[in-house]
Structure 1
Amino acid sequence: MKKTRLKNLNVLITAAGSPGVPGLIKSLRLVDERKFKIIASDMDENAAGLFLADKYYIEPPSSNPQYALKILNICRREKVDVVIPNVGLVTLSKNLKKFEKNEIKVLVSKNTKMLEKVIHKGRLFSFLEENNIPVPEYSEVNNLDEFINAVRSLGYPKKPVCFKPVISEGTRGFRILRPDANRLDFLLKEKPGTPITTLENVVSILSKADNFPNLLVMEYLPGKEYSTDLLLKNGRVVAAVPRYRQITKLGLSIVGMVENNKDVLELSKKVAEISGLDFNINIQIKYSEDGKPKVIEINPRVSGSLVLCTAANVNLAYLGVKALLDEPFSVAPVKYGVKMIRFWSELYINEDGSTYTL
């Protein structure tokens, strides 16, 4: 029997330099029932995702006051049906009506207040605690004395302690304080980019700051880390795929596996449904020293490793688009045990802009 083909769609993917965009594009290209024209945008003219798309634009920083208008103008020019954003979520959520007037759908929750709460890690942890969701022990600090006291109260130097800015993307600003950190070893033996340091090193830097940054000091969780990709429709979870983050580098899963961890799945679903968010979200969970799963992050967008879900039989990227368009869909059974290993690849660009691979 011949399959019914649906209307082809023009999709704009923003921040196309994000590590997960190549996998996102692959997931959309794999869809049989319709074709996609993929437009990509990024601040960086060398972002790989731009050259994997059918057409691309250079976008301004999401902090630009005109960001939403610039994205809307791209959409009008390219007759975009759906926007899949990787940045500027709050800004786009606040401007949804402008996009809807132009018959453009944006894959972001309308719950702007919750988006703002999720982005601020201190408010997020407070919200989760109020709803009896386990989170790491933490303190939000605003000056150097508070920072030092919070680190000590969490067990340093007997235990490692970590911290990050209350508002940050991925692993930016994340550090692990370990008293046994050997500066000479880090200088000569470790690759650049390690998050491990000492309290003394950090204090020497923070003491010179003109304006002390708002930081979240947290319990260090040494156990296994999981990331659950979920899809919500009208506040209800309709699909969920838990992944074990076996090896990570710079916040990205390099080796991961779809694992049927019922505790992680149950906790992720509970968090998702109390969040009041819709469409694609990602929840990160890590195990504590005493073996308890604790929520460390909610990412209210498509995640950087969503392609692993596609490989495990659940194309959450496309299901998110269908949910956004209010199209009926079914969710295939998750293929547990699928493992992903990431590696570097190359893309070559001719003078005329055409691309090829070897």
Structure 2
Amino acid sequence: MKRLSPLTVILTGAGAPGWPDICRSLVENNERTIDIVAVDMDRDVAGYRLVKKHAVVPAGVSPAYIPAMVCLVKKFKAHAIVPLTDPELPALASAASLFKKMGVVLPVARPSAIAIAADKIRTHEFLTNRHRAIPAYRIARTSVEFSVAIAALGYPKTKVCFKPGIAHGSRGFRILDPQATEAATLFAEKAENTRYAMTGERAREILDNCASFPSLLVTEYLPGKEYSVDLLVRKRSVAAVVCRERTRIRFGLTYQGRVIADPKLERLAVDIALRIGLTFNANIQFKKDAAGTYRLLEINPRTSGTIALCRAAGVNLPYLGLKLALGERITAQKPVPGTRNYRYWTHVFT
């Protein structure tokens, strides 16, 4: 088979846990040589040790971020930028035309779609009355609204959840459980477990002591299994879908999971992605309620951290996303159900 032209790709978020697998997914593509430039705001991360070229950039929300990325494109003669972290997505999406003039492709959704998907409150507001997968929810921006919201959703007779509208890696997520005790949390939960429970009274005490009350999405408690759907989306259709069951989760990452064949879950994810206007790589997470119905958890308008499981199942979504951005032909691919992942720690020694 004739090899395609080589590419230089700037891959951001080099300190992210999923970065090494996504880097390998791009490099080990069997079609062309891809030279990776690792980029991060941190000056010393593992990703720098896995490739020959790397660079430090300002934070994605900094006004200096886009000028820095422009300089890197020129320095390394890059053909594409593949972003892996949420904070930089709005800036890159808004600068897509600038990079296009430079001959650089960006597999990133439009700013309007990112604004909806990246904010959990906006996601639920947008999909209310548009999609049946939305769980029961309320929005709280004051202490009084928070008390009214948890009561409306059944607390203290039943558990209730809350999380900030904009947060990353399960930060700020808590389950309100009237039976929760801080002693149990202290001695029974590991420090990295951000999914532990607290009482509504304790939550109010903490929130009232914040400098300003955060905007919170308060939702019904979903006791069922959790699922993740990775998609590759064209403007009006979906090129590939991989459904996964998340059987063990730590730090917001799937430490154990398996690929499943579930047409209903696939249809739900596709419908949501197209309604919001997502394009290229995206990830949508669901959880089952007490009746076994899929309910939306959140949307990631980017490549997910456990997308390597999709590649192991036969669908190399990071590379396919790059090909889609390049305007190259993509052949239909179906994942192998039952493929599993077991995440573990490893090291880079220098």
* TM-score interval, normalised by the smaller of the two chains: over 0.9
Q: 1:143 to 1:51 in 2, by over 3 A?
A: same
Letter in 2 for 1:294: R
Give TM-score scaled by structure 2 length. Answer: 0.96
2:231 equivalent to 1:233: no
Letter in 2 for 1:266: R
The aligned counterpart of 2:89 is 89
**Structure 1, unpaired ranges of 5+:** 350-358
> Do 1:314 and 1:331's aligned partners in 2 also have CA atoms closer than 8 Å?
no
> Do 1:255 and 1:339's aligned partners in 2 also have CA atoms closer than 8 Å?
yes
Question: How far has the Cα of 1:47 moved from its partner?
Answer: 2.0
Question: How far has the Cα of 1:129 moved from its partner?
Answer: 1.7
The aligned counterpart of 1:112 is 111
The aligned counterpart of 1:133 is 132
> Do 1:133 and 1:271's aligned partners in 2 also have CA atoms closer than 8 Å?
no
Structural mapping, 1:111-260, within 5 Å: 111-194=110-193, 195-196=195-196, 197-260=198-261
Which deviations, in whole Å up to 9, do the C-alpha atoms of 1:100-121 show, x marking residues without a partner? 1111111101x21121111121
Separation of aligned partners in 1, 2:299 and 2:336 = 24
**Structure 2, unpaired ranges of 5+:** none
The aligned counterpart of 1:352 is none
More moved, 44-53 vs 281-290: 44-53
Separation of aligned partners in 2, 1:201 and 1:60 = 37
> For 1:46, which of 44, 47, 51 is the aligned residue?
44
Secondary structure of 1:33's counterpart equals coil
Separation of aligned partners in 2, 1:151 and 1:234 = 38
> Do 1:83 and 1:107's aligned partners in 2 also have CA atoms closer than 8 Å?
yes
The aligned counterpart of 2:345 is 344
Secondary structure of 1:90's counterpart equals helix
The aligned counterpart of 2:98 is 98
Which deviations, in whole Å up to 9, do the C-alpha atoms of 1:234-288 show, x marking residues without a partner? 2210100000011101211000100012221111111122221211111111111
Secondary structure of 1:176's counterpart equals strand
**Structure 1 outlier segments of 4+, above 4 Å:** none
The aligned counterpart of 2:66 is 68
Question: How far has the Cα of 1:65 moved from its partner?
Answer: 1.4
The aligned counterpart of 1:325 is 326
> Do 2:140 and 2:215's aligned partners in 1 also have CA atoms closer than 8 Å?
yes
Separation of aligned partners in 2, 1:244 and 1:331 = 22
Separation of aligned partners in 2, 1:189 and 1:174 = 18
> Do 1:12 and 1:38's aligned partners in 2 also have CA atoms closer than 8 Å?
yes
Separation of aligned partners in 1, 2:182 and 2:167 = 26
More moved, 49-58 vs 8-17: 49-58
The aligned counterpart of 1:354 is none
Letter in 1 for 2:294: P
More moved, 245-254 vs 153-162: 153-162
The aligned counterpart of 1:306 is 307
Letter in 2 for 1:91: A
Separation of aligned partners in 1, 2:92 and 2:305 = 20
Question: How far has the Cα of 1:190 moved from its partner?
Answer: 2.1
Separation of aligned partners in 1, 2:277 and 2:119 = 16
> For 2:8, which of 7, 10, 29 is the aligned residue?
10
Q: 1:190 to 1:132 in 2, by over 3 A?
A: closer
Letter in 1 for 2:76: E
Secondary structure of 2:128's counterpart equals helix
- Supply the RMSD in Å over aligned alpha carbons: 1.3
Which deviations, in whole Å up to 9, do the C-alpha atoms of 1:12-53 show, x marking residues without a partner? 111111121111011112211101110011122232222222
Separation of aligned partners in 2, 1:321 and 1:209 = 42
Separation of aligned partners in 2, 1:179 and 1:54 = 53
Which deviations, in whole Å up to 9, do the C-alpha atoms of 1:103-152 show, x marking residues without a partner? 1111101x211211111211111211231332111111111111111112
Letter in 2 for 1:337: G
Separation of aligned partners in 2, 1:46 and 1:213 = 32
Paired residues in the alignment total 346
Which deviations, in whole Å up to 9, do the C-alpha atoms of 1:67-91 show, x marking residues without a partner? 1121121111111111110231111
Identical columns (%): 37
